[in-house]
Structure 1
Amino acid sequence: MVKINKNSHKAYYEQLVLGIKEDILQNILQPGDRIPSVREMAKQLLMNPNTVSKAYKVLEAEQVLITVKGKGTFVRENSKLPRNEQKIQQLKEQIGDLVVEAKHLQVTSEELIGWIQQEEDKLGGPNR
């Protein structure tokens, strides 16, 4: 289940977005599963409802979640999602920044690749 690290450098809503995506990748959340309402999630995580609402809006814009008026918010079917080239470009830029920082700290490419593989293993491997 999603956990928020109050000491993280990431904004709370970003942590919630990533946490929900991670729960989906780990099959904790399945397509069609209902997720808690904004108020319920805010209460569970001791967060401001506006922060949860922002995270849900981001996930809806990325077609991860879908809200059905009067019924709730659900995990969307992944099979219908096209590749989001804009998000992929942002990811490439983040990787570029990461590589610069890693080289500055004398971290090798092999170490970086090893770290990526460890993270993939936690999620069940590449592309599930």
Structure 2
Amino acid sequence: MDLDGSRPIWLQLVDDFRLRIVTGAWPIGTRIPSVRELAMQSGVNPNTVQRALAELDRTGLTGTERTAGRFVTTDTTVVDAVRRELATGATDTFVTALTAVGMDLPQAAALLQERWDMRPSSADTGESS
């Protein structure tokens, strides 16, 4: 993970962990790595990782089981809401950028369709569409 000096590290970890959950890298209901493991992987202080995970707990994306560790929620509505939030942010960025270069909605829709059709198929990437 490449950390950006313009934002607090724990917030960047929250973003990264949320993305892992909505993309299925951390599947629904599965145990996630320990704070120590995540800190080593990310190259940050364990307290920073703990702060990010506490935020995920607060939002309901993860939860702890006393002796078993921390798990991704099994509540698909929570995961779907985060997926939609992330997609909305990406869409807003897309709309702002295309508006700035003078595209209207039909042009933007055509461009999106063109790019969508060019993306690797789920068979190529091993992902579902």
TM-score (norm 1): 0.61
What's the C-alpha RMSD, in Å, of the aligned pairs? 3.9
Q: Evaluate the alpha carbon distance shift between residue 82 and residue 28 of structure 1 in structure 2; reply closer, same or farther with a 3 A threshold.
A: closer
Relative to 1, partners in 2 of residues 1:78 and 1:54: Cα closer, same or farther, differing over 3 Å?
Answer: same
Contact 2:64 2:71 in 1 (8 A): yes
Q: Which amino acid aligns with 2:97?
A: E
Tell me, which stretches of 5 or more residues in structure 2 are unaligned? none
Partner of 1:101: 97
Contact 1:17 1:58 in 2 (8 A): yes
CA distance in 2, matches of 1:5, 1:27: 20
CA distance in 2 between counterparts of 1:82 and 1:72 reads 19
Q: Which runs of 5+ in 1 are unaligned?
A: none
TM-score normalised by length of structure 2: 0.60
- Please name the residue that 1:67 is paired with: 64
Partner of 2:53: 56
Q: Give the secondary-structure state (helix, strand or coil) at the position aligned to 2:41.
A: helix
Deviation at 1:67, TM superposition (A): 1.4
Higher Cα Rg, which structure = 2
SS in 1 for 2:27: coil
Contact 1:25/1:124 (<8 A) preserved = no
Q: Give the match for residue 21 of structure 1.
A: 18
User: Is the 8 Å Cα contact of residues 61 and 79 (structure 2) preserved in structure 1?
Assistant: no
1:36 aligns with 2:33: yes
CA, structure 1 residues 92+58, in 2 after alignment: closer, same or farther (shift >3 Å)? Answer: same
Q: Distance in 2 between matches of 1:62 and 1:16?
A: 14
Structure with greater helix share of residues? 2
Equivalent residues of 1:65, 1:74 under 8 A apart: yes
